[in-house]
Amino acid sequence: MSEQETTGQPAAEEPEEPGLPESMVRLLGDYERHLVSERDLTPHTVRAYLGDVSGLLDHCTRLGLDDVTDLDLRALRSWLARMQTTGRSRTTIARRATAARVFTAWLHRTGRLPTDPGAALGSPKKHKTLPPVLRADEAESLIRAAAERADDGTPVGLRDVAMLELLYASGIRVGELVGLDIDDVDDGRRVVRVFGKGRKERSVPYGTPAGRAIDRWLATGRPALRVEGSGAALFLGVRGRRIDQRAVRDLVHRRVADVPGAPDIGPHGLRHTAATHLLEGGADLRSVQELLGHASLATTQLYTHVTTDRLRRAYQQAHPRA
């Protein structure tokens, strides 16, 4: 599945359960319980998986396959081919192929299929687009602009600086940021504990500037916004509850707009920026993969484009035979 803001999962078609045989409807119910209870996926991701699998099962019934035991590689390929002829994008087809492979693997593992036809199912290669990132000076200007606005010491200003510093310093996802509790911050070791996709826990370091911003927020800003229902949330909204992702996205877009010439990016753009600057600074790919919480190194490799471009420019400028 491609990495998207918050969940990494784009919207999928709504389940087509009413037209499915009763046995397939029950099967979808079992699969949903597996996704929720065993894989601990977010509600949005569960809906996306179920929508894709419902579409697959609906296609199978149109082919005359009344039972899941008849599901084979030919049916899977026919489903993807139909989407291609109806103009679906490569990204959509690739995502649904992934959903099919996850589903057939579960069917085989639970004894519902004697073999796993999805293991042999290919998918179109997605066009890799280079994500927009801030230059190092633009990232500095972003933080500085936010700090200047927070000079009056308002709680919201202190909070905004702390969130921007932490997003850029750590490269964590916006969903991971808003889910942080106070106890997740280890000020002594300068690391923050986050729970990523699938509730996988990891510790991510952050720098001294982010540490100072968080300390100021906790000492002065958060107590001013805290209410009875604030709980342990690290970052609070203006009403004292845990801040939501939309508010953070709005903040990043507004502050980036204060930087002349900077591309319009959101929190995920700051994540791209942090990863790119780490690689440009000499961090190895495996370390960046661990920091970002990527399951596959191939996902992290997307960020190497800036480093490669920089090396190419240095070569062309310096080598006599360039």
Dist. CA 82–CA 48, nearest whole Å: 19
pLDDT greater than 80 at residue 310: no
pLDDT digits (tens, 9 = 90+) for 127-162: 556 668 899 999 999 999 888 887 777 999 999 999
Residue 286: exposure state from Cβ atoms within 10 A (0-12, 13-18, ≥19) = exposed
Select the more confidently predicted residue: 302 or 118: 118
Residue type, 139: A
For residue 294, indicate whether it is catalytic: yes
Task: Name the active-site residue from 173, 222, 255, 272.
Answer: 173
Task: Name the active-site residue from 59, 159, 197, 277.
Answer: 197
Q: Which part of the chain is CATH 1.10.150.130?
A: 17-120
Select the more confidently predicted residue: 85 or 308: 85
For residue 101, indicate whether it is catalytic: no
Class of domain 17-120 (CATH, top level): mainly alpha
Q: Give the list of residues 6+ apart from residue 53 with CB closer than 8 angstroms, or none.
A: 28, 31, 99, 100, 103
For residue 200, indicate whether it is catalytic: no
Q: Does domain 136-316 correspond to CATH entry 1.10.443.10?
A: yes
For residue 199, indicate whether it is catalytic: no
pLDDT greater than 80 at residue 316: no
pLDDT greater than 50 at residue 70: yes
Stated as kind and residue range, the H or E segment containing 191 is strand 191-195
pLDDT greater than 70 at residue 18: no
pLDDT greater than 50 at residue 6: no
User: How confident is the model at residue 301, as a pLDDT?
Assistant: 64
pLDDT digits (tens, 9 = 90+) for 207-232: 999 999 999 999 999 999 999 999 99
For residue 303, indicate whether it is catalytic: yes
As a whole-number percent, the residues of the chain with pLDDT over 90 amount to 51
Q: Per mean pLDDT, which range of 71-85, 170-184, 307-321 is the poorest? A: 307-321
Q: Which part of the chain is CATH 1.10.443.10?
A: 136-316
